[in-house]
Structure 1
Amino acid sequence: MTTTTLLRTGDRVLLTGDSITDWGRDRDQPDSPWGLGHGYAGIVAALAGARRPDLGLTFLNRGIGGNTTRQLRERWTADALDLEPTVVSILVGVNDTWRRYDAGTPTSVDEYEEHYRAILDATRERLDARLVLIEPFLLPVPPVEHAWREDLDPRIHVVRRLAGEVGATLVPADGLFAAAAARTSPERWAFDGVHPTPAGHGLLAEAWLDAVGLAAR
């Protein structure tokens, strides 16, 4: 008996965004299953392939560390549309917040939404792709990052709203990480509050698989 899933036979699944997706991917083998990195993207590909080998899925990772939504938008044609994926998964936003605090270059929530919406509009205009949107997330490691919530929380709400507008599958990562941190400690899941530990990448991968209907049985 097989499960009902968002994924279909022969899908090309693109996972993209910033360093959380990038996470060790091999740019010399961008289209190889060995080049997906050792973060949640690689885990998603491994477990999806193990759970539904009949689907013959192909996974691509085009995350780039440090990317903001503006930078992701600038490379969207070459690193997304031209690859002709049938499923597009996006995780971006924490750097839009981070650059406000470490570089003094804020991105307003309106600008964030403009860039994100342009990415989604371009995808829907050119591709018949199913969309998966992952909430940006943050844990208070170090405690100063508590103050970042005022900047990040509105971006999370933008992603939730856009997911509803375009009929995308939403991965509610921020609440997931907050709940996990409450059970143990923030450091167990994201060593600097932004970048997941191995356990955090596993947590995010399982949430992605659950959202698309490939949870472990």
Structure 2
Amino acid sequence: MTISLHPSASVLFQGDSITDAGRLMERDSPLGNGYVRMAAERVRTARPDSAVTFVNRGVAGDSMSDLRARWREDTLDIEPDVVSVLIGVNDTWRRYYAGTVTSVRAYEDDYRAVLTQVRDELNAQLILIEPFLVPVRDEQWAWREDLDPRIRAVRRLSEEFGAALLAADGLLNQAALAAGGARYIAGDGVHPTPLGHTLLAKAWTALAGL
């Protein structure tokens, strides 16, 4: 499934540090320095006469419950035409680094709740980006038992809500093999390198038919 970007569409990106990509620390870069900015640049290059606007509301460190808590102010009140969401790896990360466990059921329930609000209040088009992990350390392979069910939940939700799906986990892990190692795609296994962000941006704009 793809989305349709009309010439005056507004596009909102939501998520954690991968989406934030420095936008909260660098006030002169409101789109951050990652895939969001790159995707916006690709759209503007492909459609120089359009007036598509882009907004980044990613917040570093957010889990799914954090995102839900700020959803009205940072999503619904903005009234975008397209909502793009990438969230979930922090739910996994906190299990292994802080001992804070969020069940897949709670994750999926919170995710469904925010998507339901978009459907009911905005009727906006949706792009769901799978959370991903490109293991660079042996112990990170164990994280997959927690993350993989969350990826499956996002796939279920994309079907349930008729959302476009960006299958980022497979995309980036395949890219790591082609590039010669995970560190070329995500230096710490979680945060993309410039190449990783570029791949996400290309895949995102492909969903918009560009």
What is the aligned counterpart of 2:202 among 182, 185, 206?
206
- 1:27 CA drift (Å): 6.7
More contact order relative to length (CA 8 Å, sep ≥ 6): 2
Determine the structure 2 residue equivalent to 1:174. 169
Asked whether the equivalents of residues 26 and 36 of structure 1 are also in contact (C-alpha less than 8 Å), the reply is no
Residue type of the alignment partner of 1:161: R
| Match status 1:15 vs 2:10 | no
Q: What CA RMSD, in Å, does the superposition of the two structures yield over aligned residues? A: 1.5
Determine the structure 2 residue equivalent to 1:122. 117
Residue type of the alignment partner of 1:10: S
- 1:54 CA drift (Å): 2.7
Asked whether the equivalents of residues 85 and 129 of structure 1 are also in contact (C-alpha less than 8 Å), the reply is yes
Determine the structure 2 residue equivalent to 1:24. 22
Residue type of the alignment partner of 1:15: F
Percentage of pairs with the same residue? 54
TM-score under structure 1 length normalisation: 0.92
- 1:26 CA drift (Å): 4.3
Determine the structure 1 residue equivalent to 2:39. 44
Asked whether the equivalents of residues 163 and 170 of structure 1 are also in contact (C-alpha less than 8 Å), the reply is yes
- Tell me the SS of whatever aligns to 1:88: strand
Determine the structure 2 residue equivalent to 1:99. 94
| Match status 1:79 vs 2:79 | no
| Match status 1:187 vs 2:188 | no
Change in Cα spacing, 1:39 to 1:58, as seen in structure 2 (3 Å) is same
- Tell me the SS of whatever aligns to 2:33: coil
Asked whether the equivalents of residues 3 and 164 of structure 2 are also in contact (C-alpha less than 8 Å), the reply is no
Determine the structure 2 residue equivalent to 1:132. 127
1:36-84 deviations in Å (ceiling 9; x for gaps): 1110011011111111123310000000001000000000000000001
CA distance in 1, matches of 2:6, 2:196: 27
- Tell me the SS of whatever aligns to 2:189: coil
CA distance in 1, matches of 2:15, 2:55: 12
- 1:178 CA drift (Å): 1.1
Asked whether the equivalents of residues 12 and 54 of structure 2 are also in contact (C-alpha less than 8 Å), the reply is yes
1:14-46 deviations in Å (ceiling 9; x for gaps): 0110000001114785xx8x4111100110111
Residue type of the alignment partner of 1:80: T
Residue type of the alignment partner of 2:191: H
Structure 2 unaligned segments of length 5 or more: list them.
none
Question: Which runs of 4 or more aligned residues in structure 1 lie more than 3 Å from their structure 2 counterparts after TM superposition?
Answer: 26-29
